Structure 1
C-alpha cells in the first residue's frame, strides 16, 4: 500500500511540475497507453465544453432576467448575475486547461509514433503504421482546431458579461438596467455564436472518439 501511494504521489508531482514526457512514460508502465490517454483527454475536453455551454446559457438567462427586472430586490438579482459570471469564468478556464491537456498528450503520442517508424524491418508494416499515423493526425488536427475555434469565442462573451456585472455593481438603479437592455441583443448574438461553435466542437470530439474506438477494434 505504501509503495502504491508513493507511486501515485510521484505521478501527481510529475503532472504538477509539467514533466509531460516522464509522466506519460510512467503512466504507460502502469498500463495506460498514450493512445488511450489521448481519447480520455478528448472526452474530458468535450465534457468541459458541454458544461461551459450550459453555464453560458444559464448566465444569459440570468442576464435577461435582470434586464427584464420589474421590481423587488435588485441587489439579490445582481448577486445571482455575479455568481453566474464567476461560474462562467471558472468553466472557461477548465475548457482551456482540458484543451491544453489534449495537445500535451497528443504531441507525446505523435513524437513517440514517429520515432518508432524507423524500428520496423518490414516495409509493409511501416507503411501501414505511417498511414495510420497520418489518419490519426488529421483527425486530431480537426478536433483541436474545432476546440480552439470555440475557445476563441469565449473571451468576447466573458468580457461583455464582466463589463455589465461591474457596471451594475455600482449602479443598482433603473437607469443602469436600461443600459443593460441596450447590450442584450449583442450579448445574445455572441452567446449564440459561442454555443454554435461549442456544439460543432463537441460533435468533432465525438467523431474523433468514435473513430479511435473503431480503429482499436479492428
Structure 2
C-alpha cells in the first residue's frame, strides 16, 4: 500500500471511529484533519466532500462485516454438513466473536446513516439500503437451506426471520450501550439461536415441507 493509500485508509479509520462514537453530524472534517495530521487540501485530495467520505466509509464498513461473516459461517459449514447445525454453529461463533470484543461492539455505521439519513445524498442512502438488504439476504439464504431440510413447527416468513438478525444486531448494540453491558448483544444472538433451534426441530417431509410464504397465505 502506497503513502497515498495509507493516508486515505487512516482518514477512513478516524472518521469511522468518530461516527461510531458520536454520529456523522457531530463528526467534522476539521477534527478528522487534525487527528490524521494532514492539511485540508490533503483531505480534499482524497475526498471531494463529506458525502464522498461517507460513501467510502460505508463501503469499507460493509466489506469488513461481510469478510467477518463469510469467515464465521464458512467455518461453521466446515464443521457440519447439516444446514441447521451449521447455521446454529455459525450463530454461536458469531456471538462468541462479539462477546470477545473487550468493550462490546463499537456500533453500526449502517444504523448511524439510517438515524441521520437527511445528512446524506441519494447515493449514500442507496448504498446503505443495499447494505441492509445484503445482510438480510445472507441470513435468508442460510434459513432457506435450513427450511429445505427441516419443516418449521409454525408457519414462518423467512424474510421476517432473516430481518430479525439485523434488528437484533442494531438493537443489541443500543441496549448494550444504554445498559453499559457488552454482553447484551451476544446474549440476544444466542436467544435467536435458541428460537431457530426450537422452530426447525423436525425433518421435513413431502407433506410437511411447504414454502413459508405459501403456508402463511393458506392460513
Bigger Rg, which one: 1
Give the alignment's TM-score, normalised by structure 1: 0.36
